[in-house]
Structure 1
Amino acid sequence: MADAASSPGLVKTNASPREERVGMLLVFLSALMWSFGGTIARFVTVGDSWTVIFWRSVWAAAFLLSFMAWRDGWRGMLRSFRDMGLPGLAVGSCFAIASTAFVVALAYTTVANILLMQAGVPLLAALLAWALFRERVGAATWVAIAAVIVGVAIMVSESLDGAVSPIGDGLALLIALMFSIATVITRRFASVRMTPATCLGTILAAGFAASQASAFTVSAGDMGFLFAFGVVNLGIGLAFFATGARLIPAAIAALLGTFEPILGPIWVWLIHSEVPSGRTIIGGMVVVTALLVHIGLEFKRQARPQRAGVTGVPSPN
């Protein structure tokens, strides 16, 4: 049986074409949920970032625990926490660091700078998957990655001439690195359910924020927005991502995740009447076009009958 890594046009995957399509949809939905973050955050008036992180993480953890209890039952949920092992602990730690760094970074640097760093996630994920596990990255994926980076760079270029904070930009780079590692691990250990790992990440983030927050009391209005920030933006997004990323290659999962910085400005424009700049619109069109073309090519590849003796399923590890 030929290895997929040596067969042009094939992406190394353990999932069937139908499962890959479902995985793509779920990862896109996770990006959709995450894209509401900036819009929701604009409504929150709490001044302490650690208080925001605490309540956001608490509500996300509560949702994920309830979701797993409903899906698997209490015994099944406890078993899934036990069975996630070291890969789950690693993914949980990555998401805890990334979700915490995102809120803290907003106090030091612009959202634009954070988005520019996040544009490198597909490249980092592809490089990590290739370097660590020799997961093949096709030429079309590399082209799409390059287009995404160019498009997001155009979007945020107007904000790059402001004051640069080494702390803020360092945290933004940390977010991209942690998300890339989590993407690759989730893909590599596809047999491990990662929803418990993402839940663990929210619990870890809440615990650390609790040790740093100056106060926990917030207004009823802020609590409502923090609930949405935790459940809709973080919790549901993590559940979609953990379920879908295990079905598709890490580079494609990271590419789909770039819909987050594209859709984010649209919601802010529609809800807060902040009109995107010309560069934001142009850059967004570049990214969306690259993603749609790449996804279309993937669907076409999956629908094409494979040559005799070629398979997209690698040998068992």
Structure 2
Amino acid sequence: MRLRPVECAQRKCCGYAVTSEVRMNVEYMKGFLLTAFGVFILSFDALMIRLIEAHSFDLLFWRGLLLSLVAAVWCRYSMPKQAMFCFDAPFIRSSLLFVVSTISFVCAVNLTSVANVLVIISAQPLFAAVMARIFYGEKSPLVTWIAIVISMLGVSWVLAGSWQSPNLIGDLLALLCGITLAAKFVNDRAVSNRNMTPVLISASIMIAAISVVAGDPMALQGNSWGWMLLYCLVVIPLAFILISIGPMRIPAAEVGMLMLLETAAGPLWIWLVLNEVPSTKALEGGSIVIGTLLIHGLIRWRSNRVRVTAA
């Protein structure tokens, strides 16, 4: 039976819509998996900082210097035609935000408990969703907002035990890290058609320049050198390259939600290796955050699956 032209056009349009929907879902899952794997590797960040046992700026110098070299090699290999340095507004903003978030994170880990740092940083989905809505009009689904509110309650529970303790400065630095990291994700998401991995080069050079003045990079001793090389040449470059690629395919608020995986795994590695037991409030608040993340991820996955099936 021959189809009329209108029917042919309708079928072609429907087929294009289905193909487009499937392609979008594949890209979403690719971004989700890349970001999740990057965050899992990053969950060893705090453990490596503790194992190196160095002053914050001594470590930051090597972290910045070696990360810039690895990122430059990666960019030259994977993006030979793309410039490694740019001077437009999104690139500069992303670089500066990465510098602030990195310095505040390393200093926070050395000033307060790892569990507190990671749970407080987990507040970033709230900042990411608000910033994305205000500056770029990116709307997050209702389930994401509900998950963010519940996660914030868990973070507040952790902070409740720190206001009167000497760890307050470290907790506030962790909060600064969460805000600036969320802003970086939103900034990078706004130019999702562009690979922002080269930002790691310029930002890391700035971190090394600041740290060589504020610290003494050659003060590392003994095993610290071995841990530092593993940390700066493998863990950090691989994690941040993956986390730079992932947000090109998924919303900024969901990138922030995936970063909560570090909140669960980071204190676990510290506990297993260094026997640093998280506080009761940190465990309770972290459980709320991680449970919410898992439920949110399941709902979003089912929603995407139903939409593709319907199409």
TM-score (norm 1): 0.82
Q: Show the counterpart of 2:34.
A: 26
- Asked if residue 81 in structure 1 is aligned to residue 84 in structure 2, the reply is yes
- Asked if residue 216 in structure 1 is aligned to residue 249 in structure 2, the reply is no
- Asked if residue 59 in structure 1 is aligned to residue 62 in structure 2, the reply is no
- Asked if residue 37 in structure 1 is aligned to residue 45 in structure 2, the reply is yes
In the aligned structure 2, how far is the partner of 1:214 from the partner of 1:63? Answer: 22
Q: Show the counterpart of 1:286.
A: 288
Which of 7, 21, 25 aligns to 1:17? It is: 25
Give the partner amino acid of 1:227: L
User: 8 Å contact 1:119–1:152 — kept in the other structure?
Assistant: yes
Aligned residues: 290
Deviations 1:91-137 (A, max 9, x none): 11111111112222345444455334313210001000001111112
Q: 1:238 to 1:264 in 2, by over 3 A?
A: same
Structure 2: runs of 5 or more not aligned: 1-20
User: For 2:218, what is the secondary structure of its paired residue?
Assistant: coil
User: For 1:219, what is the secondary structure of its paired residue?
Assistant: coil
User: 8 Å contact 1:35–1:263 — kept in the other structure?
Assistant: yes
Which of 128, 149, 157 aligns to 2:152? It is: 149
In the aligned structure 2, how far is the partner of 1:205 from the partner of 1:132? Answer: 27
Counterparts of 1:157-196 in structure 2, within 5 Å, are 157-163=160-166, 165=168, 167-196=169-198
Q: Show the counterpart of 2:270.
A: 268
Q: 1:105 to 1:280 in 2, by over 3 A?
A: closer
Q: Show the counterpart of 1:240.
A: 242
Q: Show the counterpart of 1:123.
A: 126
Say what the alpha-carbon RMSD is for the aligned residues: 2.7
Q: Show the counterpart of 1:298.
A: 300
In the aligned structure 2, how far is the partner of 1:231 from the partner of 1:39? Answer: 15
In the aligned structure 1, how far is the partner of 2:109 from the partner of 2:305? Answer: 43
Give the partner amino acid of 2:214: Q
Deviation for aligned residue 1:156: 5.8
Identical positions, percent: 25
User: For 1:123, what is the secondary structure of its paired residue?
Assistant: helix
User: For 1:203, what is the secondary structure of its paired residue?
Assistant: helix
User: 8 Å contact 1:57–1:202 — kept in the other structure?
Assistant: yes
User: For 1:274, what is the secondary structure of its paired residue?
Assistant: coil
Select between 25-34 and 234-243 the one with higher mean Cα deviation.
25-34
Q: 1:306 to 1:84 in 2, by over 3 A?
A: farther
Deviation for aligned residue 1:155: 5.0
Which of 49, 74, 82 aligns to 2:56? It is: 49
Deviations 1:48-102 (A, max 9, x none): 3211110122222222122223323xx43xx332568331221111111111122
User: For 1:81, what is the secondary structure of its paired residue?
Assistant: coil
Deviation for aligned residue 1:22: 1.1
User: 8 Å contact 1:24–1:248 — kept in the other structure?
Assistant: yes
User: For 2:220, what is the secondary structure of its paired residue?
Assistant: coil
- Asked if residue 95 in structure 1 is aligned to residue 126 in structure 2, the reply is no
Q: 1:153 to 1:29 in 2, by over 3 A?
A: farther
User: 8 Å contact 1:84–1:193 — kept in the other structure?
Assistant: no
User: For 2:83, what is the secondary structure of its paired residue?
Assistant: helix
User: 8 Å contact 1:130–1:136 — kept in the other structure?
Assistant: yes
User: 8 Å contact 1:187–1:249 — kept in the other structure?
Assistant: yes
User: 8 Å contact 1:33–1:232 — kept in the other structure?
Assistant: no
Task: Give the number of the structure whose alpha-carbon radius of gyration is greater.
Answer: 2
Q: 1:278 to 1:120 in 2, by over 3 A?
A: closer
Q: 1:302 to 1:267 in 2, by over 3 A?
A: same
Q: Show the counterpart of 1:5.
A: none
User: 8 Å contact 1:43–1:225 — kept in the other structure?
Assistant: yes
User: 8 Å contact 1:51–1:216 — kept in the other structure?
Assistant: yes
Which of 135, 150, 175 aligns to 2:138? It is: 135
- Asked if residue 253 in structure 1 is aligned to residue 255 in structure 2, the reply is yes
User: For 2:307, what is the secondary structure of its paired residue?
Assistant: coil
